[in-house]
Chain A
Amino acid sequence: MEDEETGPETGLASSKVGVLGGDGLWSVAEVLRAAGLAPVDLEPAPKTVAPEVAAKWHYGRATVRAGLLGHPRAALQLLRCELPKGWIWKGADGLAVDGLRPEVDPEGLPKEAMLAYRLAHLAAVARLPAEVDRLILPLCTTRAMVDGAGTVFGARPKGVTLPTGVKLSEVSFTVKEMQDDLAALVELLRKAHPGIVVQVTLQPSLMEQPDPVAIEVALRALTSVPGVTHDPVFDALLLRRLSGGGGAAALAHLAQGGDLDTLGGTPAPVAAEESDREKRQRRKERRARNKDKKGDAAKVVCEDELLEAFAK
Chain B
Amino acid sequence: MRLCVIGNSHIAALKLGWDQLKAKGQAPDLTPVFFGAPSDGVRHLRAENGRLTPKRKDIAEHFQRMGGADHIVLDDYEAFFLIGLNVSVKRILRFYKSHAWVGLKGTEGKGLVHPGFARDFLTERYADTLMGVTAGHLQGRKVLALAEPLWAEWIRAGAKGVPDYGWEAAISAGDGDAIGQMFRDTVAASLPPHAQFLPQPAVTVAHGITTRLAYNKDASRLISGEGGGTDAAHMNGDFGAAIWPEVLPALQRM
A residues near B, CB below 8 A? 43-46, 48-50, 52-53, 56-57, 59, 105-107, 109, 113, 116-117, 120
27 pairs, CB–CB < 8 Å, chain A vs chain B: A43-B111, A45-B113, A46-B98, A46-B99, A46-B121, A48-B125, A49-B121, A50-B121, A50-B124, A52-B124, A53-B120, A57-B113, A57-B114, A57-B116, A57-B117, A57-B120, A59-B117, A105-B114, A105-B116, A107-B116, A109-B102, A109-B114, A109-B115, A113-B102, A117-B102, A117-B112, A120-B112
Q: Does B38 contact A (CB under 8 A)?
A: no
B residues near A, CB below 8 A? 95, 98-99, 102-103, 107, 111-117, 120-121, 124-125
- Assess the B117–A53 pair: CB atoms within 8 A: yes
Pick from A46, A106, A116, A120 the residue with the most CB of B within 10 Å: A46
Bound form: Cα–Cα A82–B110 in Å: 22
- Assess the A53–B103 pair: CB atoms within 8 A: no
- Assess the A44–B111 pair: CB atoms within 8 A: yes
| Interfacial chain B residues near A49, Cβ < 8 Å | 121, 124
In the complex, residue of chain A having the shortest beta-carbon distance to the beta carbon of B110 = A120
In the complex, residue of chain A having the shortest beta-carbon distance to the beta carbon of B114 = A105
Bound form: Cα–Cα A80–B120 in Å: 32
In the complex, residue of chain A having the shortest beta-carbon distance to the beta carbon of B94 = A46
Q: How far is the CB of A113 from chain B (nearest CB, A)?
A: 5
A48-B125, A57-B114 given; 16 more Cβ-contact pairs under 8 Å: A43-B111, A46-B98, A46-B99, A46-B121, A49-B124, A50-B121, A50-B124, A53-B121, A57-B113, A57-B116, A59-B117, A105-B116, A106-B116, A117-B102, A117-B112, A117-B114
Bound form: Cα–Cα A107–B119 in Å: 12
Bound form: Cα–Cα A108–B239 in Å: 40
Bound form: Cα–Cα A43–B99 in Å: 10
| Interfacial chain B residues near A43, Cβ < 8 Å | 111
In the complex, residue of chain A having the shortest beta-carbon distance to the beta carbon of B116 = A107
Q: How far is the CB of A117 from chain B (nearest CB, A)?
A: 5
Q: How far is the CB of A125 from chain B (nearest CB, A)?
A: 13
Q: How far is the CB of B121 from chain A (nearest CB, A)?
A: 5
In the complex, residue of chain B having the shortest beta-carbon distance to the beta carbon of A59 = B117
Q: How far is the CB of A81 from chain B (nearest CB, A)?
A: 16
| Interfacial chain B residues near A106, Cβ < 8 Å | 116
- Assess the B120–A113 pair: CB atoms within 8 A: no
- Assess the B121–A45 pair: CB atoms within 8 A: yes
In the complex, residue of chain A having the shortest beta-carbon distance to the beta carbon of B124 = A50
Q: How far is the CB of B165 from chain A (nearest CB, A)?
A: 15
| Interfacial chain B residues near A46, Cβ < 8 Å | 95, 98-99, 121
| Interfacial chain A residues near B116, Cβ < 8 Å | 57, 105-107
Q: How far is the CB of A294 from chain B (nearest CB, A)?
A: 44
In the complex, residue of chain B having the shortest beta-carbon distance to the beta carbon of A104 = B114
- Assess the A113–B103 pair: CB atoms within 8 A: yes
Q: How far is the CB of A172 from chain B (nearest CB, A)?
A: 33
| Interfacial chain A residues near B115, Cβ < 8 Å | 109
Bound form: Cα–Cα A113–B112 in Å: 11
| Interfacial chain A residues near B125, Cβ < 8 Å | 48, 50
Bound form: Cα–Cα A45–B95 in Å: 10
Bound form: Cα–Cα A113–B116 in Å: 13
- Assess the B102–A56 pair: CB atoms within 8 A: no
Bound form: Cα–Cα A49–B107 in Å: 20
In the complex, residue of chain B having the shortest beta-carbon distance to the beta carbon of A43 = B111
Bound form: Cα–Cα A44–B99 in Å: 9
- Assess the B114–A56 pair: CB atoms within 8 A: no
In the complex, residue of chain A having the shortest beta-carbon distance to the beta carbon of B95 = A46
| Interfacial chain A residues near B117, Cβ < 8 Å | 45, 53, 57, 59, 105
Q: How far is the CB of A157 from chain B (nearest CB, A)?
A: 15
Bound form: Cα–Cα A117–B114 in Å: 8
Q: How far is the CB of B39 from chain A (nearest CB, A)?
A: 20
Q: How far is the CB of A89 from chain B (nearest CB, A)?
A: 16
Bound form: Cα–Cα A107–B117 in Å: 9
| Interfacial chain B residues near A56, Cβ < 8 Å | 120
In the complex, residue of chain B having the shortest beta-carbon distance to the beta carbon of A117 = B102
| Interfacial chain A residues near B98, Cβ < 8 Å | 46
- Assess the B121–A107 pair: CB atoms within 8 A: no
Bound form: Cα–Cα A105–B120 in Å: 12
Pick from B99, B102, B124, B125 the residue with the most CB of A within 10 Å: B102
| Interfacial chain B residues near A44, Cβ < 8 Å | 111
Bound form: Cα–Cα A46–B121 in Å: 9
